Structure 1
Amino acid sequence: MTNPTTPTDLPWMIDDLVEVPRVVSVVVLSTDGLIIQKSSLMAQELAEILAAGASSMYSVAAGTGRRFESGPVHQVIIEYGERTLFIAAAGQNARLAVLCEQDVDMGMVAYEVSRLVTRIGDYLGTGARAAAHDV
């Protein structure tokens, strides 16, 4: 019998992904760009910027996909001059952003991202926010 993933498992699973060669930082974010969890060595300010940017980029990709009836977004990859950013769906209302050095083995990172998302997808999913009620 396997043990379910607990909230304390998420930080070390994310830090394990940072151990992949050439991976710099990892952020798990909600669809509205808020940090759910970040790699332990990443500065909070940079994690917030990455989470907001990743949320926006994923949203643009999803909107374009809907317009062209392309189906749901599985992954967004952005190659910068010095870095590569992977953004993947990570459960309901959650995303995984992985920032890597430019010379990263993209196949290895895509595999590790897929493996992590599959392994903890239920935990990474965040429920819809409850509507505020008048008090």
Structure 2
Amino acid sequence: MAALVWPGQDDRVSRLRAACAIAAADPPIILAGDLIEKVADLVEAAPRDSTVVVFHSAVLTYLSPAERAEFRTTVRALPCHWISQEGTGVLPWLTEQLPERDSDAARMVVALDEVALAYAGPHGQSLDWFGVG
């Protein structure tokens, strides 16, 4: 994974290594397969007394608009919270919630349960909450 970090971005390499150390200490469940087909099984497998959060970043852009809509329908029917971080046009139902931007720089939209909350840098370098000065 470190080979995918652009040269000169030492902060990102440091964050990646720290995240890998955390994951190595408590390995996550990794399940291969189609995310639309597998997400319900994973949510349903969680302990009943837990708060389940489905999180993704820059993954739905690789699905067709119809598949994105299917994922939305699937996740919203599950007993979980949904945190998305996708490009500004990837989830069109969030578009009307977005405030004007001062820049054309690439931004991600962070949303919780389909409520847009912030713009984020595409590689985690910034987070600008909406309505916060």
Is TM (by shorter chain) over 0.5?
Answer: no
TM-score band, normalised by shorter chain: under 0.3
Higher relative contact order, structure no. (Cα contacts within 8 Å, ≥ 6 residues apart): 1
Q: Per residue, is there more strand in 1 or in 2?
A: 1
Compute the TM-score of the two structures, normalised by the length of structure 1.
Answer: 0.25
Mark the structure with the bigger radius of gyration: 2
